Amino acid sequence: MRAAVYRTYGPPEVLKIEEIERPTLKTEDTDRVLVKVQYASVTPFDYLHRRGYLPVRPSNGLLRPKDHVLGVDLAGVVEAVGSGVTRFKVGDAVFGNCFGSHAEYVSVREKGLSLLPGNLSMAEAAAMPVAALTALQALKNVAQLKPGQTVLINGAAGGVGHFAVQLARAFGAEVTAVCSTANLAWVQQLGADHMIDYRSQDFTRNGKQYDLVLDAVAKRTYASCKSSLTKTGIYITENPLKPGTQMFQVLFALLTKDKRLGLHLASSNAEDMDLLRGMVEAGKLRPVIEKTYALDQIAEAHRHVEQGHTKGKVVVEVCQN
């Protein structure tokens, strides 16, 4: 099968299109589904792994990557199911989260998948899973957001951020979105009640306070956001492993058991995937794709996302139906 492969850490040029062995479901893969991938998204996870970002090396290989195919989101068609799979059958159109979706076939745990929402294209569905799950779980599980609460989303125009704006609005919160000048009108259309241009205003110094500051792009620190929190307000960072001040503060907050700092890593969960599908079908949530690339252009897609200014999501077409 065709796949975008990286065998050494490095710049986007280390990615090559190769023919590699197609995965199969083994007898013990009872909860797994083999999916023929049509579209996958490109995320910061992909370029951080490709670069050999320090926090991922212990699990991904100290000197060179152990797994050679990136991609954590997919939309495609079920090719085969394990003996214990109950929610899907061969031929179902699905979307979900996995490891290794920048390849024509991938083996995915059943819990990572949901049926394709009826009102989304394959490309749109591939733009959703990890970014939307991240936003959903941060708001619903970590913050336990309630109607009427005030939320500030830093990085509101990105993959996680543009879902967070829509979800927070759907949960009945009053939403303040922080992004650059060019995206102000767009995040308002997504559902933000107030917008802040980070290029001309520092939200940590404007005297306003929020029940939740969701730092979707981990560009600020907990310390700098403390004055923006109400008495019971919390700060959530989506990148607790980011080396430097953020990681140091996270360690300090863990040691001091500071409950106002929410650390969050998204996890695969069938109920949450089905919840997202329901919200899309109810018209409360919609992915936005800035650009679609062919799999052959994977290096270019990485360069795009790595610039750090993606508007919504970037997807790659892995194979045509």
Q: Which residues would be at the binding site for ligand NAP (CB under 6 A)?
A: 43-45, 130-131, 134, 154-155, 157-161, 178-180, 183, 198, 216-219, 238-239, 264-266, 305, 308-311
The residue among 45 and 95 lying less far from ligand NAP, judged by its C-beta, is 45
Return the number of the residue (70 or 217) whose C-beta is nearest ligand NAP.
217
Cβ distance 108 to 96 under 8 Å? yes
Cα–Cα dist 207/312, whole Å: 29
Q: Return the number of the residue (93 or 192) whose C-beta is nearest ligand NAP.
A: 192
Minimal CB distance residue for ligand NAP: 158
Q: How far is the CB of 312 from ligand NAP (least distance, A)?
A: 8
Q: What is the DSSP letter of 54?
A: G
Burial 142-167 (b: 16+ CB within 10 A, else e): ebebeeebbbbbbbbbbbbbbbbbbb
34 DSSP β-pair partners:
80, 107
In the numeric block, the tokens 């607790």 are attached to 240
Q: Is the Cβ of residue 120 or residue 130 nearer to ligand NAP in the bound state?
A: 130
In terms of Cα–Cα distance, which of 14, 1, 131 is closest to 65?
A: 14
CB of 262 to ligand NAP, least distance (A): 10
Give min distance, CB of 159 to ligand NAP, in A: 3
Distance of closest approach, residue 302 Cβ to ligand NAP, in angstroms: 11
Kindly tell me which of 90 and 265 has the beta carbon lying closer to ligand NAP: 265
What CA–CA distance (Å, rounded) separates 188 from 34? Answer: 39
* Number of other residues whose CB lies within 10 A of the CB of residue 67: 13
The least CB distance from residue 307 to ligand NAP, in Å, is 8
**Residue 48 or 85 having the CB closest to ligand NAP:** 48
Query: Tokens in use for 204?
Result: 């940590």
- Tell me the closest approach of the beta carbon of residue 214 to ligand NAP, in angstroms: 10
The one-letter amino acid code at 113 reads L
